[in-house]
Amino acid sequence: MKRDTALNLVQKHVKNRNLIKHMLAVEAIMRALAARLGRDIEQWGLAGLLHDIDYDKTADSPEQHSLLGANMLAEIGVDPAIVHAVKVHNEVHGLPRESLLDKALYAADPLSGLIVAAALIHPDRKLAAIDVPFLVNRFHEKSFARGASREQIESCQEFGLSLEQFLTLSLQALQAINAELGL
């Protein structure tokens, strides 16, 4: 699947503009991770872009989130590795994350939210205004961005990055698409 096709699919199934921005942010992080880890940038980017494709339909049923999305993607012939990563990114299911792609998507998902929340509390409300020490401080504030699982983010160690390396790479990825994110 090409990125344009995937983006059209996202726009067809996801109506919440902020959720689309989240999916774009995760895509950017996944592309940066793929480049860093010597993996398929297009494949990893698509996994990030498509990971919440079912969220509008499953927002009130977290036990269905990612299962429905994985089924939707499998039915249209999306790469099975992407389908699996989408399926296992929701920890509610307790499914094992086996590949680097699976593990990266699991960690990137909450980190995008933490970074965006950090930008929004900064007086400038811009990604360019924040740096890694600012993110590290926010990361350690338990009351900040509570929905961003610190445990999930710290699972970056499973694919060989320290927390600081993961924060740096991800912040740079989001800063590169700041116009798309409106930040």
Q: How many folded domains does the chain comprise?
A: 1
Mean pLDDT of the chain: 96
Distance CA 69, CA 149 (A): 21
How far lies 156's CA from each of 40, 50, 148, 160, 165, in Å? Answer: 18, 20, 14, 7, 9
State pTM to two decimals: 0.96
| Of 2-11, 16-25, 87-96, 108-117, the least confident | 87-96
Q: Please, which pLDDT band fits residue 40 given cuts at 50, 70 and 90?
A: very high
How far lies 11's CA from each of 19, 26, 67, 129, 154, in Å? Answer: 10, 16, 19, 29, 31
- How far from each other are the two terminal CA atoms of the chain, in whole angstroms? 28
Secondary structure element (H or E) that encloses residue 176, with its range: helix 163-176
Give the pLDDT of residue 93: 87
Q: What is the domain extent for residue 135?
A: 3-181
Q: What CATH number has the domain bearing residue 75?
A: 1.10.3210
Distance CA 10, CA 48 (A): 11
Q: Rounded mean pLDDT of 143-158? A: 95
Give the pLDDT of residue 18: 94
Give the pLDDT of residue 62: 87
Give the pLDDT of residue 7: 97
